[in-house]
Structure 1
Amino acid sequence: MSVLQAWYMDGSTEDPRLPHRLQPDRPVGLQELQELGVWYRRLNAEVYENDPELQRIREEKGYSYMDIVDIHPDKLPNYEDKLKMFYEEHLHLDDEIRYILDGRAYFDVRDKNDQWIRIAMNKGDLITLPAGIYHRFTMDETNYTKAMRLFVGEPVWKAYNRPADHFEVRKQFVNSLKSS
């Protein structure tokens, strides 16, 4: 079973699918991610369809809606355009919940000092990014992931590109960082 890996990113504008580790490397632990409101669990993706642990999490958190997406050049129309859109820095008014069922990808989140942290997502990783956190998504060099998207209630797909500091959910998120 792999362990979640996260690190501070360099400032390179090269292909976003590369790891972009800061040199020297500055790993980020689960505790630091939790202080940003990022919630993480490792599950057995082999049994996701009948996983009692996933069912328990869905019930506890109220994740009533679910769908599955394949992100790959052969499976997602306008793949390169979609990747560019996913990689635009944005926030959502609701939590973003993703469960990687196969493949790999990256989520990048801003820390308290507005620096990028890259979170490497692998098969079995379930993550929740809190409403109001600036983030972005990209694939790694494999160009493949299969992900479950979970929502509380009806899905909301709207992303608000930065700057979006005027939203109340952003103000609440920033205030939560000051108190942690």
Structure 2
Amino acid sequence: MVKAWYMDSETTDQRLEHHKNPPEFISLEDLFKKTGVEYFKLNVETYATDGVLDKLKKERGYTYEDEMACSKECLPNYEEKIKSFFTEHLHTDEEIRFILDGSGYFDVRDGADQWIRIAVGAGDMIVIPSGIYHRFTLDTNNYIRAKRFFIGEPVWLPYNRPADEMPARKEYIDKLQKGFVAAAC
């Protein structure tokens, strides 16, 4: 089961699990209210045949998918890539990840600009809204394998902070102030 908690602004060791002692955990409902991040639990063993993922893809309009693995063994320029993933950025499209194996952390900013760390593992699917500042890192297992989904052709561009004048950021801030509405699923 996914866990989410507030963390300090510490940036020196991206693989530390908890910075606050004890961590201030938040519920998935509060995570959504504070950030717009959506969470789905899927069965890694049956997702290809049980119809749950297919239903999500259809209802949300995901038309492109691929699979990626992140580890020292299978990711070219591993150290450079990990540093770039951990640089705070936003995207103009949702970032959708379904974890098939391994584990890692997505860090997202709430409306008060505080970091919330989301620990993901096999079976977890998260949807990070466009325009939210976020970052990703592996945990001490140094391995994750995930499916990535897109609406239409994939857009791979991260826009490093500050990117406050971008339309995607302004739209996100508007949703943050008005309150998020979960997509039908």
Number of equivalences: 178
d(CA) in 1 for partners of 2:116 and 2:94?
18
Matches within 5 A, 1:24-103: 24-35=22-33, 36-103=35-102
Q: CA deviation at 1:4?
A: 1.8
Cα deviations across residues 53-111 of structure 1 (Å, max 9, x unaligned)? 00000000011100000111001111111000000000000000000000001000000
Cα deviations across residues 108-141 of structure 1 (Å, max 9, x unaligned)? 0000100000000010000000000000000000
d(CA) in 1 for partners of 2:132 and 2:126?
13
d(CA) in 1 for partners of 2:10 and 2:106?
16
Contact kept in structure 1, 2:62 and 2:151, CA below 8 Å: yes
* Identity, % of aligned positions: 51
Paired residue for 2:12? Answer: 14
Normalising by structure 2, we get a TM-score of 0.93
Tell me whether 1:179 sits opposite 2:178 in the alignment.
yes
Contact kept in structure 2, 1:110 and 1:133, CA below 8 Å: yes
Q: CA deviation at 1:50?
A: 2.7
Q: CA deviation at 1:175?
A: 1.2
RMSD of aligned alpha carbons = 1.1
Contact kept in structure 2, 1:43 and 1:53, CA below 8 Å: yes
SS at match of 2:156: coil
Paired residue for 1:23? Answer: 21
d(CA) in 2 for partners of 1:51 and 1:98?
18
Tell me whether 1:107 sits opposite 2:103 in the alignment.
no
Paired residue for 2:123? Answer: 124
d(CA) in 2 for partners of 1:100 and 1:44?
10
Q: Which amino acid aligns with 2:68?
A: V
d(CA) in 1 for partners of 2:150 and 2:112?
28
d(CA) in 2 for partners of 1:34 and 1:70?
27
Runs of 4 or more consecutive aligned structure 1 residues displaced over 3 Å after TM superposition: none
Q: Which runs of 5+ in 2 are unaligned?
A: 180-185
d(CA) in 2 for partners of 1:12 and 1:41?
28
Range with bigger deviation, 83-92 or 166-175: 166-175
Normalising by structure 1, we get a TM-score of 0.95
Paired residue for 2:156? Answer: 157
SS at match of 2:45: helix
